[in-house]
Amino acid sequence: MGESRREGWIQTYTGLRFWPTDARPDEVEIRDVAHALAMLCRFNGHCRRFYSVAEHSVHVSRIVPPEDALWGLLHDASEAYLADLPRPLKRLMPAYREREAALTRVIARRFGLPEAIPATVELADGVLLATEKAALMGPEPAPWEPLPPALDPAMIRAWDPLAAERAFLERFVEITGQAIGEEPSQWKP
């Protein structure tokens, strides 16, 4: 095992050890991804109400062509292990972007996806950003970077974390037909 295998692991929600900088496809657990993304707030928390990366991902998966739905659902899955950084900060951190890209490739292999995120998913991600901005952000202090046209802001429901986790897992089952098993959110303390 390499040096990164001895140090630098995190404990996941389901109780696994996960090495974000030396991940292997068989170590990616969809329940961990769903739970962590449901607990992460978009916009680094600077929105009018809690809105999770999991809900964002479900919406992206619904507006892309059906053949890209799984990529839409998983396009931000690396954030379950690396967290997220606001776009302006991420652009200044090439090492983070490299780690994020490497982990995204591992996740793609885990779920049998091509390594490159489809252009339809990239476009849908931008459309959702514009829609979320309209639904969740206050008046802008200055113009944002150009965004594609927004969809109906009423589609943004701002689910609580448990609802977002369930919706993410249900969408995964709907797309893949794979059973998930016991949901950790149902575990009793």
Q: How far apart are CA 91 and CA 42, in angstroms?
A: 17
Q: How far apart are CA 124 and CA 96, in angstroms?
A: 23
15 phi and psi angles, rounded to 5 deg: 90, 15
Quickly list H helices, 40-118: 53-63, 69-74, 79-82, 87-90, 94-110
Tell me the sheet residues that pair with 11.
17
Helix, strand or coil for residue 11?
A: strand
Query: Which tens digit of pLDDT belongs to each residue from 106-116?
Result: 999 999 999 99
Q: How far apart are CA 41 and CA 95, in angstroms?
A: 23
- Would you state the pLDDT for residue 182? 60
Q: How far apart are CA 45 and CA 66, in angstroms?
A: 30
CA angle 115, 121, 125 (to 5 degrees): 125
Contacts 24+ apart (CB under 8 A), 171-175: 171/58, 171/61, 171/62, 171/69, 171/73, 172/30, 172/34, 172/70, 172/73, 175/61, 175/69, 175/70, 175/73
pLDDT in tens, the chain (189 residues): 444 466 799 999 999 999 999 999 999 999 999 999 999 999 999 999 999 999 999 999 999 999 999 999 999 999 999 998 888 898 999 999 999 999 999 999 999 999 999 999 999 999 999 999 999 999 999 999 999 999 999 999 999 999 999 999 999 999 999 988 765 554 433
Topology classification of domain 3-177: Hypothetical protein af1432 (1.10.3210)
Q: Where are the domains of the chain?
A: 3-177
